[in-house]
């Protein structure tokens, strides 16, 4: 079994979560769609009412309403009819860790330094140049390993029982095509194996062909995925 939705939600925790039946309405000040979206883990009693309540929640925060959709085809069709755009199709990729070996030069710590956070945000941040404090709260919300190499590449791994989640892979633009990301990835996988994880997973936006090629070259294969449905209900 590969409980993708639950694994991702646990590894990338939103500071604030509200509930509508089995739906989780996550809020993190607008930092990342993953932490500011509805995670629908079951069917609500009244779908239209539940969606309207979710819209009211995010509208009150001044945010667009975002749903993370994996296998919820009925909800996906309902949101499409309601005017929600489909954005960021994302693939999940998995591999086993039986053969993971670590490059010695990669440093892994139990917390991110300011330099680590700044590099990740400079590459992956989508909300301006200033890194908000909530970004660090998301990244440090669960125990994890934080890898860095030459001040130019970083990554994060979250042990989750038999699974190891790999997140926040980032390489400085002027340091790419030197194999730094590959070495960070290998180090994180070996780190997870030593902590009892048997399999690893990661998620990557479908359009990121370079990252997908890297992960496939390291033995990851596609296994499901998700996309977002987005509607800015705050607009007139």
Give the tens place of pLDDT for each residue, 60-116.
999 999 999 998 899 999 999 999 999 999 999 999 998 877 777 899 999 999 999
Question: Looking at domain 93-224, does it have CATH number 3.40.630.30?
Answer: yes
- Tell whether the model's pLDDT for residue 236 goes beyond 50: no
Q: What is the pTM of this model?
A: 0.93
Percent of the chain scored above 70 by pLDDT?
Answer: 96
What pLDDT score was predicted for residue 126?
A: 61
What pLDDT score was predicted for residue 128?
A: 57
Distances, alpha carbon 25 to alpha carbons 116, 176, 191, 227, in Å: 29, 36, 32, 16
Query: What are the b/e assignments for 18-45, b being 16+ CB within 10 Å?
Result: eebeebbbbbbbbbbbbbbbbbbeeebe
- Sorted by where each begins, the domain ranges of the chain are 4-89+226-231, 93-224
Residue, of 130 and 211, whose pLDDT is higher: 211
pLDDT in tens, 30-63: 889 999 999 999 989 899 999 999 999 999 999 9
């Amino acid at each position: 079994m590969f409980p993708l939705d639950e694994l991702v939600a646990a590894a990338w925790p939103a500071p604030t979560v509200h509930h509508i039946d089995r739906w989780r309405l996550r809020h993190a000040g607008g930092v990342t769609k993953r932490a500011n979206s509805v995670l629908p883990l079951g069917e609500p009693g009244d779908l239209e009412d539940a969606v309207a309540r979710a819209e009211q929640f995010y509208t009150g925060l001044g945010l667009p309403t975002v749903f993370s959709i994996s296998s919820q085809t009925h909800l996906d069709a309902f949101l499409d009819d309601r005017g929600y755009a489909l954005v960021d199709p994302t693939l999940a990729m998995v591999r086993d860790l039986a053969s993971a070996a670590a490059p010695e030069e990669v440093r892994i710590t139990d917390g991110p330094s300011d330099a680590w956070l700044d590099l990740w945000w400079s590459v992956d941040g989508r909300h301006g140049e200033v890194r908000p404090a909530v970004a660090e709260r998301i990244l440090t919300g669960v125990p994890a390993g934080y890898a860095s190499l030459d001040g130019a590449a970083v990554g994060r791994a979250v042990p989750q029982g038999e699974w190891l989640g790999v997140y926040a892979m980032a390489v400085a633009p002027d340091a790419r095509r030197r194999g730094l990301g590959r070495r960070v990835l290998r180090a994180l996988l070996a780190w997870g194996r030593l902590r009892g994880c048997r399999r690893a997973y990661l998620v990557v936006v479908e359009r990121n062909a370079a990252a997908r090629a890297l992960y496939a070259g390291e033995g990851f294969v596609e296994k499901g995925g998700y996309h977002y449905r987005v509607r800015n209900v705050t607009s007139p």
